[in-house]
Amino acid sequence: MFLRAAIQRGYSTASTAAASTQRLAGKVAVITGAASGIGKATATEFVRHGAKVILADIQDTLGRSLAAALGGPSTAHYTRCDVTDEAQVSAAVDLAVSTHGKLDVMVNNAGIVGSLDLPPLSALSMADFDAVMAVNTRGVMAGVKHAARVMVPRKSGSIICIASIAGVMGKLTPHPYSVSKSAVIGLVRAAAGETAKDGVRVNAVSPNYILTPLVKRILEEWYPRMSDEEHRGIVEKDINEMAEGGVVLGVEDIARAVVYLGSDEAKYVNGHNLVVDGGFTVGKAPNMPPMA
């Protein structure tokens, strides 16, 4: 009894301390696709936890507005960055180093869904495939490459890539998006195996559907006759394994997962794909014939 009580008191004290601590204090981060959706939530959470952030995006108005809202240049600096251009990704990393002297965390979040047509494989547009891969996979590879370039010499750093449950299960999105996110998960494992010896961790986060601008576009095109509320119901009820318990996934939940992977609390987590889906990808009932 005494031991159990002591342990419980210890956990309670640790939890209280963790809740009141800025988990990223003193750290410097670059976040691509930072102007909206998961990127915006991540930037906000990073600053709340004491980090200085470089917001990299192509949405200039949104990016500059967010930077100002997060405290301006000393805390949050916006830079235009098209991740399909490696030189711009490299420049965003160099901006973090020149402004703050280092880079501790790289969040490769920028992504697109591409065409929402659902043709059979025989009619797949390779041009659309190439466009999606250029952002979602090649752009992430550029982020990993240039983050490692400055982190490896310092023997420290965390690189986090936003993948998707579409990279874990098929038939959830158009093929190009699914393939691109599967490639991100493979990229993470390959890179983590090389950089571990240099103290640089590389991990992925795979979210379930969330009502981000990207997902809203998907629902509006696939279900044009439905209202916004009905679209919300698809995400928050129909494909939410935890809906009956009233638990709904939000962008802030993904941001908190990224904070964890970027913090020293995750110092030995490397090459991992953190799936945040409420159990959606755990397993599905097989397509059995109807019972007599």
Of 27, 40, 52, 181, the catalytic one is: 181
Distance of CA 289 to the CA centre of its chain: 38
The neighbour count for residue 118, using CB atoms within 10 Å, is 11
**Euclidean distance between CA atoms 39 and 287, whole angstroms:** 37
- DSSP string for 58-85: S-HHHHHHHHHHTTSTTTEEEEE--TTS
**Residue pair 80/32 in contact by the 8 Å Cβ criterion:** no
Of 177, 178, 206, 263, the catalytic one is: 177
**Euclidean distance between CA atoms 27 and 102, whole angstroms:** 8
Residue 177 designated active-site: yes
Distances (CA, A) of 13 to 8, 9, 20: 9, 6, 11
**Residue pair 70/247 in contact by the 8 Å Cβ criterion:** no
Phi and psi at residue 205, in whole multiples of 5°?
-125, 130
Residue indicated by tokens 């993904």: 254
**Euclidean distance between CA atoms 183 and 141, whole angstroms:** 10
**Euclidean distance between CA atoms 136 and 69, whole angstroms:** 28
**Euclidean distance between CA atoms 53 and 34, whole angstroms:** 10
Of 27, 52, 78, 164, the catalytic one is: 164
| Class of residue 285 by CB neighbours under 10 A (exposed 0-12, middle 13-18, buried 19+) | exposed
Catalytic residues: 164, 177, 181
